[in-house]
Amino acid sequence: MYRNRTDGGLGNPGRVALAVLCACVAVVSAAATSHPFRLSVADMRVTEGGLSAEIRFFWDDLQFAVMEHSSDMEFVLADSPEVDSTVEAYINELLLLRVGEVTLMGRVAARGVEDADIIDEIMWWYRLEYALPAGTERVEIRNRLLFNLFEDQRNIVNFRTLGGRKRTYDFSWGRESVSIPLL
């Protein structure tokens, strides 16, 4: 009467084994192939006369975003002044720092790579330096990095004032701008 219970209630053992195997393969494949979220993290700090921003990206996100932004389908992240210049232009267009009506332009001061066991979790970082006009008390930040490519992109900015106060800001679609006191 209950044909599916003739083997102790487990149904077809072959189907159960296949389902378990497929689930294991899916979990291992997802863990080994890519990072599950879109995120950049910037550590910004006010210095005497300027502002420093060190921004970390998943390498593939940065490469594809710059490739799309620059319309250069041959673009590849590399240790070169030409790549630094292209990435600098991308960052300056999508990470806007404004003091009043003046847009600050960052200059690449350093770059590096944080290695990882999984290739898609390798991080590239860039440190940009910005000159601040004398007497600056606030800066407006509009952070749309990688928004040109990913709808689910989030950008975190850890900001440290000249006085040492620390704040963290979360940027996403619809929450792209914030005005921050520098003191």
- CA 3 to chain centroid: 54
What angle is formed at CA 92 by the lines to CA 125 and CA 47, rounded to 5 degrees?
A: 70
Mean pLDDT over residues 135-160, rounded? 94
Q: What is the pTM of this model?
A: 0.79
- Residue 33 pLDDT more than 60? no
Place of tokens 């319309």: 71
Question: How would you class 89 by CB atoms within 10 Å of its CB: exposed for 0-12, middle for 13-18, buried for 19 or more?
Answer: middle
For the segment 17-30, the average pLDDT, to the nearest whole number, is 41
Here the contacts of 18-26 (C-beta below 8 Å, separation 24 or greater) are: none
Domain boundaries, the chain: 37-181
Query: Stretch 173-179: mean pLDDT, rounded?
Result: 94
For the segment 91-145, what is each residue's pLDDT rounded down to a tens digit?
999 999 999 999 999 999 999 999 999 888 899 999 999 999 999 999 999 999 9
